[in-house]
Amino acid sequence: MSSVFTLLLKRETRLLFRRPAELANPLVFFAIVIALFPLAVGPESQLLQTISPGLVWVAALLAVLLSLDGLFRSDFEDGSLEQWVVSPHPLALLVLAKVLAHWAFSGLALVLLAPLLGLMLGLPLGAMPVLLLSLLLGTPILSLLGAVGAALTVGLKRGGLLLALLILPLYIPVLILGSGALQAALQGLPAIGHLLWLASLTALAVTLTPFAIAAGLKISVGE
Amino acid sequence: MNWTWFHKLGSPKWFYEISGRWLPWLAWAAAILVSVGVVWGLAFAPEDYQQGNSFRIIYIHVPAAFLAQSVYVMLAVAGVVGLVWKMKLADVALQQAAPIGAWMTFIALLTGAVWGKPTWGAWWVWDARLTSMLILLFLYFGVIALGQAISNRDSAAKACAVLAIVGVVNIPIIKYSVEWWNTLHQPATFKVTEKPAMPMEMWLPLLVMVLGFYCFFAAVLLMRMRLDVLRRESRASWVKSEIKSLVGKSA
Amino acid sequence: MNFSSFADFVAMGNHGVYVWTSYGISLAVLILNVALPILARRRYLQDEARRLRREELK
């Protein structure tokens, strides 16, 4: 069982490295969205600092969503998804490996890029650990929940906008907790409560969403 | 326990017959309860000592909000039934209930916003309840949009079922996080819908309205489901004879 | 009766606009929800009648 898991992780890693542009695109998107805001609201550092928690989180959320649109598409088109569905291994485990591999490259890269952009928005260095931790705990939830939407819309021709419509409302708790943690850190308050909540949501997402993703894929493949 | 009624529910023909018998009763109950509730709430209930007469909006806002939330739970229940027991009628119920739920959410939002103007002095306040209602509206839009985007009827119903179940698991999390976010950002303003103690003359019409709204939902849902059953089962012989008799009556 | 006159009832103590717009729009939405399925049913039956007539002619 676990060997299938690691095999799949390796396969996904290799596939992701063959198309580095797909890995870079969400990161560039993330940076551009962040850069748009000072241009829109003005370069005043005090204002930027107050809105930076929400800004970083909204941008991260959109970047993850954007990267998820094609998560299952190539597997759907070349028929490997069908193989997964009929394979004797539990589909939930396979999709968990797939999503984790995807997160390990796109989500983690996002987390690593975030402090740089945070600095540009005037986020103090003291808030960096909280920024890193909250994104580290929050982005897996974003990837997993988004994968549910991606699984449901994979068979549709223009699923991208629909995916956003389905999934963005479900992202709201993560957004609230993540930016809340950052805001608390900015005000010098302890953010541990938020982070613990985020961690428990991550645990919940890791255990429950693979089944929803698997159900969604079965429906999309069966069509 | 006897489960025959449950299996009978799976038969569209049986559903069509029994719902035809229930529909007039439900429609009348809804009409009577809602009109009694409206007149009672508008004209006879005492005015609120803080908010005056604007408080009468509660008689629409609260029933609509109740219904909006319970319809979404119903979507998920229908989704589970449809996925587990492959019951076609549950698919029909899910797809037909979603637009009604969305309309109810719209009513709750609109009346909340109008109510907010005299109470808070603004049309829209990011109050916890209104915000979660807005998110609920987005969740409904998601279910409706997904159902319309998938052309195959059966997979559309299944996909909507999965989405509704995921949504229902998320609703408590969303609700609590929004409430918590709200208390964080604007400490305890007074809440319109939470009274320490509502006198009986105030909540009795509210109860009538809530019951009326539920009957209204049931009646409209049955009407929509009956039409959808006729469409889906148009090849069955009982539908053909039913349509012939209906057409003969109207012609 | 909570109001002394009909004018009082309409005015709702300066909140008439809010109360009546919310009741009005809500009532319109409720009626719309009833009317749409009825109209859809009528249209469906008309289509079916036309189809049946065409089949009889054949």
| Orientation angle between helical segments A91-102 and A128-153, nearest 10 degrees | 130
Residue B180, in any domain of the structure: yes
Least confident range from A42-51, B159-168, B223-232, C21-30: namely: A42-51
Nearest-Cα residue of chain B relative to residue A181? B181
Tokens encoding C19: 């109360």
What integer pLDDT is reported at residue A174 of this predicted model?
93
Residue B74, in any domain of the structure: yes
What integer pLDDT is reported at residue B188 of this predicted model?
43
Mean pLDDT by 10 residues, chain B (251 residues): 68 87 93 92 79 83 92 94 88 93 94 85 82 93 92 89 93 87 59 58 87 95 93 85 78 49
* Cα B177 → chain centroid: 23
CB pairs under 8 A between A and B: 73
Neighbours of chain C (3+ CB pairs under 8 A): B
What integer pLDDT is reported at residue B33 of this predicted model?
94
Smallest Cβ–Cβ distance between B54 and the set C15, C46, C52 belongs to: C15
Does the beta carbon of B159 lie under 8 angstroms from any beta carbon of chain C? no
Eight-state DSSP code of residue A43: S
Q: What is the dihedral of CA A92, A93, A97, A98, to 10 degrees?
A: -30
Within 13 Å of residue A216, how many CA atoms lie on the same side as its CB?
Answer: 30
- 8 Å CB contact of B103 and C33: yes
State how far the Cα of A211 lies from the Cα of A174, in Å rounded to an integer: 20
State how far the Cα of B132 lies from the Cα of B114, in Å rounded to an integer: 17
For residue C39, pLDDT over 80 is answered with yes
Nearest-Cα residue of chain B relative to residue A194? B177
Nearest-Cα residue of chain C relative to residue B223? C37
Q: Which residues on chain C place their C-beta less than 8 Å from a C-beta of chain B?
A: 1-3, 9, 12-16, 18-19, 21-23, 25-26, 29-30, 32-34, 37-38, 40-42, 44-46, 48-49, 52
| CA of A168 vs chain B CAs: smallest distance (Å) | 9
- The residue segments making up the domain with residue B182 are 18-44+57-240
For residue A43, pLDDT over 90 is answered with no
Give strand pairing partners of B48.
Answer: B52
Does the beta carbon of B84 lie under 8 angstroms from any beta carbon of chain A? no
What integer pLDDT is reported at residue B220 of this predicted model?
95
Among residues B82, B81, B102, B217, the alpha carbon closest in space to that of B148 is found at B102
Residue C46, in any domain of the structure: yes
CB-based contacts of C53: which residues, under 8 Å, 6+ apart?
Answer: none
Across A58-85, average pLDDT: 87
Three-state SS letters, chain B? CCCHHHHHHCCHHHHHHHHHHHHHHHHHHHHHHHHHHHHHHHHHCCCECCCEHHHHHHHHHHHHHHHHHHHHHHHHHHHHHHHHHCCHHHHHHHHHHHHHHHHHHHHHHHHHHHHHHHHHCCCCCCCHHHHHHHHHHHHHHHHHHHHHHCCCHHHHHHHHHHHHHHHHHHHHHHHHHHHHHHHHHCCCCCCCCCCCCCCHHHHHHHHHHHHHHHHHHHHHHHHHHHHHHHHHCCCCHHHHHHHHHHHHHHC
Which of B173, B174, B184 should be substituted to probe chain A, the one whose Cβ sees the most A Cβ atoms within 10 Å? B173
Residues of chain A in contact with residue B163, where contact means CB-CB under 8 angstroms, are 148, 152, 166
Chains A and B touch (3+ CB pairs under 8 A): yes
Residue B8, in any domain of the structure: no
Does the beta carbon of B166 lie under 8 angstroms from any beta carbon of chain C? no
- 8 Å CB contact of C26 and B110: yes
Smallest Cβ–Cβ distance between A170 and the set B170, B180, B181 belongs to: B170
Among residues A156, A140, A144, A141, the alpha carbon closest in space to that of A219 is found at A156
Across A118-134, average pLDDT: 89
CB pairs under 8 A between B and C: 92
Eight-state DSSP code of residue A107: I
Which of B38, B61, B114 should be substituted to probe chain C, the one whose Cβ sees the most C Cβ atoms within 10 Å? B114
- 8 Å CB contact of B142 and A208: no
- 8 Å CB contact of A152 and B152: no
Chains A and C touch (3+ CB pairs under 8 A): no
- The residue segments making up the domain with residue C31 are 17-57
Looking at the 3D structure of chain B, how many domains does it have? 1
- 8 Å CB contact of C38 and B56: no
Residues of chain B in contact with residue C4, where contact means CB-CB under 8 angstroms, are none
- 8 Å CB contact of B47 and C26: no
Residue C11, in any domain of the structure: no
pLDDT band at C1 (very low <50, low <70, confident <90, very high): low
Does the beta carbon of B74 lie under 8 angstroms from any beta carbon of chain C? no
Integer Rg of chain A from CA: 18
Tokens encoding B138: 């987005």
Mean pLDDT score across all residues of chain C:
85
Summarised one tens digit per residue, pLDDT across range A149-198 is 999 998 887 778 899 999 999 999 999 999 999 988 888 888 888 899 99
Angle, vertex CA A188, rays to CA A184 and CA A190, nearest 5: 60
Residue C32, in any domain of the structure: yes
For residue A139, pLDDT over 80 is answered with yes
Question: What ipTM does this complex have?
Answer: 0.87
Residue C36, in any domain of the structure: yes
Neighbours of chain A (3+ CB pairs under 8 A): B
Q: Which residues on chain A place their C-beta less than 8 Å from a C-beta of chain B?
A: 145, 148, 152-153, 155-156, 159, 162, 165-166, 168-170, 172-173, 176-177, 180, 201, 208-209, 212, 215-216, 219-220, 222-223
Q: With pLDDT > 70 as the criterion, what percentage of chain A qualifies?
A: 99
Residue C45, in any domain of the structure: yes
* Portion 94-113 of B in contact with C at CB < 8 A: 100, 103, 106-107, 110-111
Residue C1, in any domain of the structure: no
Burial pattern A168-182, b for ≥16 Cβ within 10 A else e, equals bbbbbbbbbbbbbbb
A90 and A165 Cβ atoms separated by less than 8 Å: no
What integer pLDDT is reported at residue B2 of this predicted model?
65
**pTM of the entire predicted model:** 0.89
Summarised one tens digit per residue, pLDDT across range B192-238 is 455 556 677 788 888 999 999 999 999 999 999 999 998 888 888 88
Looking at the 3D structure of chain C, how many domains does it have? 1
